[in-house]
Structure 1
Amino acid sequence: MKTVKIVGVPEHFNFPWHLTIDEGLFNEVGIDLQWNDIPEGTGKMCEMLRNNQTDLAVILTEGILKDIANGNEAVILQTFVQSPLQWGIHVNAQSNFETVADLYGKKAAISRYGSGSELMTYVNAANQNWDFNSIQFQIVNTLNGAVDALTNREADYFMWEQFMTQPIVDKGIFKRIGVCPTPWPCFMIVARKEFYNQNKALVAHLLETINQTTAEFKMIPSIDKTLAIKYNQQLNDIQQWLQITKWAQKKPTKNQFTEIINQLLKYNIINQTLNYEEVVV
């Protein structure tokens, strides 16, 4: 049995991993998969890949490609979630902000630099034709940290996946004044290059196992009710999320990769192109 470390955010996108681990399906192919939730998000996971603290990560596309462009020796194994991530734009529910335009020059709460919560502020700014130099940041580490920062007026707005923040909106803590979808598939499965090179057959078995789960995930009886309970969601919100979420079972094609890179260049998330053959294995 080979022990493999993997990290990801504690969100409903990753429930197929927990299900597959709990059912012992990785064990059947000789893998002891050790999952670790990382509420700090993509920036922290990039750091863990760089520091050999994990073998694999399920990570935001824009964050890992930016970090690879900055020297992280990670490789993309395949796309995990093909559909865009719906980034809600949130403010303190008691604030006077009513539209996204009201946030020009205001301070964004972010989990850390390099995380999606930072990078998507640039996408939003570009969509609004804002000067990137107008954006200010407050590091808050986690979703709970963002709640504190907006409540205490230490930051003005926070971008996070809209369904995971829905309970906070329902409680009247956050107000959502807009949604900014990613212009690319949202999650990739990545590996440290050294780990991949030494374990190619094992990685193939691991991907085959998780892909079998995600291909059948939406057909699991009462999966909507299970997810609603586990992630403290309203059933109709989870049903809506399931409708728009599409898991993938393949690596991005060269054309898809080129389109993602062109988008990242457009939004100034990266400032150099990346070679498909070097990044996608």
Structure 2
Amino acid sequence: MRAPDWLTARPIAHRGLHDRARGVLENMPAAIDAAVAGHFAIEVDIQLTADGEAMVHHDDTLGRLNDGSAKLLALTAAELKQVRFHDTAERMMTLGGLLDRVGGRVPLVIELKSHFDGDRKLATRLTQALAAYRGPVAAMSFDPDQVLALRQLAPKLPRGITAERRYDDAYWDKLPEAQRNPMLALRHGLRTRPHFVAYRVDDLPAPPPWIARNVFGCALLAWTVRTPDQRSRAARHADQMIFEGFVPEP
């Protein structure tokens, strides 16, 4: 199955159409509403809770955007729904709350955040929540095991791998080399069978996403586009951009 045309039809707002200067923070309800109003597709992140729910949030701990310092995995959905974003009255959403809010009006690209421990609870909860959803939606993850889980749990759901050329910055130090190596050069592709690749824009062009796009027919998204140079690079080498920090023509 190839990625559907709607996936690349319009720019994708990274974590919603957020603007901290206006008090609209990433992944919060107002950022979702702004993206819908602008007719942009929306990329969001989901994290697993202590009781198996999926929350719309990028970080696996509280603090950067909201009060507290606990890990999301240590709190229940009910507890996290009470967490407010800094300097706002808005609170964290569940995945179900996000789906109700968007209601199929624009495409969603949902990134599963992973602890790289083989746990499939988040992928399972995602597929459960999407069972009754009729809007355009795709899912992706940096973790090949999560993409494989999506392939097995929901084979008709458009799935993608989020990737970059190297995994050598501090964020990836937590992973042993044996886990990082299969992520390099999209080596897992024959196992995960992604329909699209979301690739770091500053790493384009590169052979692995070129092969995925031109040989295997995967759609190619460029993340995260913030500058005119990155926008030009995405236009040359990818099918669509995941953007933040400016408002393109939809």
Same fold (TM over 0.5): no
TM-score normalised by the chain length of structure 1:
0.28
TM-score normalised by the chain length of structure 2:
0.31
- Relative to its length, the structure with more helix (as a share) is 1
Give the number of the structure whose alpha-carbon radius of gyration is greater.
Answer: 1
